[in-house]
Amino acid sequence: MKKRIVSVLAVCAMAMGMLCGCMSVAPEPEKPESVTPDTPVTGTWVSPAGSPLDFNEDGTYVDHTKNNRTGTFAYVAENADFSLAQLFDNVEYVTCTADNGDEAITAAVLQDVMIAYSAKDHAELYYVRDGRDAVDAESIQGEWIDVYDKDSTMSFSADGKLHAFDETSDYTIEQGDCGTCVTVKSGDSETTYAIASYEDYLFMICCDSQKLYLLARESAADQ
């Protein structure tokens, strides 16, 4: 009887050992590869339709929404979730981790423009670098093609007219809280966009809502 009890206990012990072994072999998810950026994101980033985001030299950040969310940030090698990854080679990628350990923000940065996804708010957010170089009025004149809808074009003329979406509006360009801005007036309607340029591309971020236009000169749009 004792031998039988010992045998049963041995079998149970082996079964538990196998079960524990199966449970312990699950690999941890791979962490993104950390990199050193060519263009650091440190400084203040302004959201034309939201709150600013500060990246500090010590690797911490402050998201000035609601309760001033805080945490740490790191540069990662890639993030294919952002369309900028398919359009440009020299994009910097950032991951922000909240103080409680949760992933809070992932972002793609191209020089003076940041496209971010907030896991907390389940929303895509757009930022421009505070204190970036001004965009010259003459540099935006001419025809631009919408990168995401190549049948749509915008044309800024020297006389302050904007031809877009089969309509003609008035526009002005000036410096505001978000740096260089373009204000489009059509009848009683008025919309302001923070703008930033990169090579043959022009980013227009609406100041009233989280909306982004990415425009390109014809030579760049054909690539």
Distance CA 185, CA 100 (A): 45
DSSP 167-206: EEEEEEEEEETTEEEEEEEETTEEEEEEEEEETTEEEEEE
Instruction: Count CB neighbours of 108 within 10 A.
Output: 21
Q: Give the tens place of pLDDT for each residue, 2-49.
A: 444 334 434 444 444 443 444 444 444 455 566 788 889 999 999 998
Cβ-contact 127, 116 below 8 angstroms: yes
Q: Give the tens place of pLDDT for each residue, 71-112.
A: 999 999 878 788 888 889 889 999 999 999 999 999 999 999
pTM, two decimals, is 0.81
pLDDT score for 82: 87
pLDDT score for 223: 62
Does 174 or 12 have the greater pLDDT score?
Answer: 174
- Whole-number CA gyration radius for the chain: 25
Q: What angle do CA 41, 44, 45 make, to 5 degrees?
A: 80
CA 57 to chain centroid: 20
Domain boundaries, the chain: 43-129, 137-221
